[in-house]
Amino acid sequence: MHSKRATLIAAVIALLTVCTLGRSESSSRSFAIAECPRDVEFKLLVRHSCGYLSVPEDRTRPRSGSVRLFVLMIPPPDPRSRSDPVLILGDEIGAVPDYGKLQGEATRLHRVIYILDQRGTGHSRPLLSCPELERVSSDGLTRPAGDPSLRRELLEAVNQCRSRLAASGIDPSDFDLTTMAADVEDLRRALGLESWNLAAYGSWSRLALEVMRQYPDHVRAAYLDSPQFSQLDEPTEAALGTRLVLDALFRACRAQASCQARYPGLRNQWGSAITRLDARPVEAQTPIGTVLVDGASFVRGMVAVLEDDAELPRFPELVASASHRRVDIDIATALASQGSLCAGYRFDCLPHFSAGVYLSVLCMDQASFADPAVWREVGPRVPGVAHALETNPYLKSCSAWNVPRAPATVRAAVAGSVPVLLVSGQFDPFSPPALTPRLARSLETSFPIAVPGLIHNPLEKGGCQTRVRNEWLDHPSTPPSGTDCPSGRELEFAMGP
């Protein structure tokens, strides 16, 4: 016990030392140790300390206010730990990092772990949440996709949120990827680190890549779990990915003898489900409330329910039931619980979501560069997908959020020699592995891995892919070894009642 206490004290003293160095560099940028928030303490069973980085809200205006960014530090228990720490940028844009889930990374990687709440999210201040949108999300459950009145209510709610933030002196245009990348660099300098490794899960990989674009000399390596890339906006990628994943599931059923025998026309049944639900939507009762399921919401509900890897084997059964207008309770409940502003549009609807941050990044860095022609790739091959995801409510909100278009450089492919490990699940619609090699072509030292049988964030599932990541990070310029070990986890479909 005494040795553990001594190690923790030494880590805090070291952190305090670099904080002092950080304050000496610039009076407008500083790092200070602080008491950890109660919910963070509740989730952590490992040694840790907390602090806040203060940086200008707008670096182009020296007299602008400042933002405080929450930082969690977890030292490894191994006294012979590696000298290159890892900065974890978070799970999904706008969401709070899952501190409890990430707490074991220091032990697994034998490195100090820093977890940063990006500006506008989590325990960072100011917070860009938009509670005005919650009512709209709930009201939309009983209306058809693309309902004009719902869109008007959404735009009004977005206007209200933006006006409230502006009245408190917050400019949503200060919450883009370029600014956040500068925050990351300021944190590195404040901590006195020459270089570090970056880690990101899901859509925060866009920030990791922006840091690599702007500050490549200080990034030793990066691993991106379920990566997204700057060349393709998230709504378009989700549409393409959903089409690719559904195609893959249809093929997988056809290749499995028992599935092909039980559901010989699964693709046709999917088309029938869309047609019949569009013609006569189903009012499904769930423990949470009533939800209207038409063709578009069925597609989104399917995406939402398949976020759980354990639901994948039920895919043929869910489609076959819907072709007879019997909407499975799991699909209806996923729609009801996630709300009309999330299910199918974002991966997972984590609590304490900062919708303002999501809108700023989407509207500044992505949507303004979206190419409508790409939607033609979604095409009619899988009926309903294009219609379901063209109604993305966040895209419709950009006019009301009223932020400027980011420089065109944020849309360009990130190039360079920083080693990057790219881990995707085989059936992930938000990070389809079929697109990763093409989108990562400009990264000179990149290593894509697709994990069979899984969906989003395979590294959070543990197992072989995590061991591959751990070993690769010690020698990131060489290809990872043992990447074939998950190959036995092929999907086996359930045959239903």
Q: Beta partners for 55? A: 67
> Is 147 a member of any domain?
no
Q: Answer yes or no: do 76 and 205 share one domain.
A: yes
pLDDT on residue 9: 39
Query: In the predicted model, what is the mean pLDDT of residues 269-287?
Result: 96
pLDDT on residue 26: 46
Q: Beta partners for 88? A: 115, 199
**How many other β-carbons are positioned within 10 Å of the β-carbon of residue 203?**
26
Query: Whole-model pTM?
Result: 0.92
pLDDT on residue 8: 45
Query: In the predicted model, what is the mean pLDDT of residues 106-119?
Result: 97
- Look-up of token digits 């000496």: 24
Q: How far apart are CA 379 and CA 239, in angstroms?
A: 10
- Look-up of token digits 């702007």: 214
**How many other β-carbons are positioned within 10 Å of the β-carbon of residue 103?**
20
Which tens digit of pLDDT belongs to each residue from 116-161? 999 999 999 999 999 999 889 888 899 988 888 989 999 999 999 9
* pLDDT classification of 7: cutoffs 50, 70, 90: very low
Contact 121, 128 (CB under 8 A): yes
Domain boundary among 368, 401, 434: 401
Which tens digit of pLDDT belongs to each residue from 71-96? 999 999 987 889 999 999 998 999 99
Q: Answer yes or no: do 375 and 441 share one domain.
A: no
> Is 346 a member of any domain?
yes
Domain boundary among 370, 401, 432: 401
Domain of residue 76, residue span: 2-126+174-231+412-488
Which tens digit of pLDDT belongs to each residue from 260-273? 999 999 999 999 99
Which pair of structure tokens corresponds to residue 280?
């006569």
Which tens digit of pLDDT belongs to each residue from 342-394? 999 998 777 789 999 999 999 999 988 877 777 777 766 788 888 888 878 89
> Is 166 a member of any domain?
no
pLDDT on residue 156: 97
Whole-number average pLDDT of the chain: 89
Q: Answer yes or no: do 74 and 9 share one domain.
A: yes
Which tens digit of pLDDT belongs to each residue from 41-60? 999 999 999 999 999 999 98
> Is 164 a member of any domain?
no
Q: Domain count of the chain?
A: 2
pLDDT on residue 380: 66
Q: Answer yes or no: do 195 and 79 share one domain.
A: yes
Indicate if the alpha-carbon torsion angle 89, 91, 97, 101 is positive or negative: negative
Helical pair 315-322 and 295-305, crossing angle rounded to 10 deg? 160
Q: How far is CA 262 from CA 276, 312, 415, 495, in A?
A: 21, 16, 48, 7
> Is 256 a member of any domain?
yes
Q: Answer yes or no: do 395 and 416 share one domain.
A: no
Q: Answer yes or no: do 224 and 240 share one domain.
A: no
* pLDDT classification of 166: cutoffs 50, 70, 90: very high
Reply yes or no on whether the pLDDT at 301 is more than 50: yes
pLDDT on residue 349: 79
Pairwise pLDDT comparison (24 vs 301), residue with the higher score: 301
* pLDDT classification of 4: cutoffs 50, 70, 90: very low
Query: In the predicted model, what is the mean pLDDT of residues 234-257?
Result: 93
Residues present in the chain in total: 497
Q: Answer yes or no: do 432 and 325 share one domain.
A: no
Query: In the predicted model, what is the mean pLDDT of residues 300-321?
Result: 93
Contact 449, 482 (CB under 8 A): no
Which tens digit of pLDDT belongs to each residue from 450-489? 999 899 999 988 888 999 999 999 999 999 987 776 544 6
Q: Are strands 219-225 and 282-285 parallel, antiparallel or unpaired?
A: unpaired
Q: Answer yes or no: do 47 and 195 share one domain.
A: yes
Q: Are strands 282-285 and 290-293 parallel, antiparallel or unpaired?
A: antiparallel
Q: Answer yes or no: do 304 and 322 share one domain.
A: yes
pLDDT on residue 387: 84
pLDDT on residue 485: 64
pLDDT on residue 2: 38
Looking up residue 113, the CATH number of its domain turns out to be: 3.40.50.1820
> Is 146 a member of any domain?
no
Query: In the predicted model, what is the mean pLDDT of residues 20-28?
Result: 43
Which tens digit of pLDDT belongs to each residue from 433-449? 999 999 999 999 999 99
Assign residue 192 a region (left: φ > 0; alpha: ψ between -120 and 50; beta: otherwise). Answer: left
> Is 153 a member of any domain?
no
* pLDDT classification of 426: cutoffs 50, 70, 90: very high
Q: Answer yes or no: do 68 and 122 share one domain.
A: yes
Q: Answer yes or no: do 195 and 292 share one domain.
A: no
Count CA atoms within 13 Å of residue 420 on its CB side. 33
**How many other β-carbons are positioned within 10 Å of the β-carbon of residue 492?**
13
Assign residue 306 a region (left: φ > 0; alpha: ψ between -120 and 50; beta: otherwise). Answer: alpha
> Is 157 a member of any domain?
no
pLDDT on residue 24: 34
Q: What are phi and psi of 152, to 5 degrees?
A: -60, -45
Q: How far apart are CA 291 and CA 281, in angstroms?
A: 10
Q: Answer yes or no: do 90 and 220 share one domain.
A: yes
pLDDT on residue 80: 81
pLDDT on residue 477: 96
Q: Are strands 196-201 and 282-285 parallel, antiparallel or unpaired?
A: unpaired
Query: For the chain, how big is the Rg over CA atoms in Å?
Result: 23
